[in-house]
Amino acid sequence: MSTSVSTKQILAISDLAVSYGHIEAVKGINLTLNEGEITALVGANGAGKSTALLTISGLLKPTRGSIQFDGNELTKLSPHDIVRSGVVQVAEGRAILTTLTVAENLDLGSYARRDKSGVAHDLEWVYSLFPVLKQRANGLAGNLSGGEQQMLAIGRALMAKPRILLLDEPSMGLAPLIVQDIFRILKEINRTGLSILLVEQNVRQALRIAQRGYVIETGKIVLTDSGAALLHDPKVIEAYLGG
């Protein structure tokens, strides 16, 4: 686990509420992410995790509340401006472009950048994290396995040079060994100083790598503590870890 001890808040969510019609899916949550840390937002399917992430990305608009990124209010920005500001999401289900090559998908991740030498450097970094992507660079993304597609989705997001990486259910549909590999790589990415907000149903894996965690149930934050403390919390064990 990263040994970051930063206490600088890079993301601060205050009283955030989000509705689908008359149904309030997120009910006034508060959450912070410190610079250089992994923070996990965990809970059951339908608890409001993905809704919160989509709202940070600007794809949903809140009914109330504030999302401050490094002092800037994200709720006033469009999704593409949020990406340009340094907040980049890896979508649930990966959302790769299957009819383009692996290299073309990665190139799309850097579309807003103008630093060609930086882009080339980051591409080599992504290939070092995910060697299979370099091996399959000229092949169609649609021919990759599920785990390889998840690696591509993460790599494409990294090519945007984010300051915060938002991950929505990166373990979904993957075999246990692949899940372990993905989480190992997330720890490696975090060691470079990149802040990560991780949304996961796989509570055990998420809390193992997170410096801090939040448990959300039916749209409300019900517990928050260090990842290690939540792993040993009786309520978390009973509800999510098979205790």
User: Is the per-residue pLDDT at 1 higher than 50?
Assistant: no
Distances from the Cα of 54 to the Cα of 26, 86, 88, 175, 186, angstroms: 11, 15, 11, 26, 20
Task: Give the pLDDT score at 201.
Answer: 85
Residues in the chain, overall count? 243
Provide mean pLDDT across the span 167-173: 90
Task: Give the pLDDT score at 114.
Answer: 83
User: Is the per-residue pLDDT at 192 higher than 50?
Assistant: yes
State pLDDT tens for residues 35-86: 999 999 999 888 999 999 999 999 999 999 999 998 899 999 999 999 999 9
Ranges for all domains in the chain classified under CATH 3.40.50.300: 1-86+165-243
User: Is the per-residue pLDDT at 5 higher than 60?
Assistant: no
Percent of the chain with pLDDT over 70: 97
Element (H, E) at 73: strand 72-73
- Residue 203 — very low, low, confident or very high, per pLDDT cuts 50/70/90? very high
- Residue 6 — very low, low, confident or very high, per pLDDT cuts 50/70/90? low
Tokens of 5: 């001890």
Q: At what angle do helices 146-158 and 102-109 cross, to 10 degrees?
A: 30
Provide mean pLDDT across the span 149-155: 95
The domain made up of 1-86+165-243 has a fold known as: Rossmann fold (3.40.50)
Burial of 3 (0-12, 13-18, 19+ CB in 10 A): exposed
- Residue 243 — very low, low, confident or very high, per pLDDT cuts 50/70/90? low
User: Is the per-residue pLDDT at 87 higher than 60?
Assistant: yes
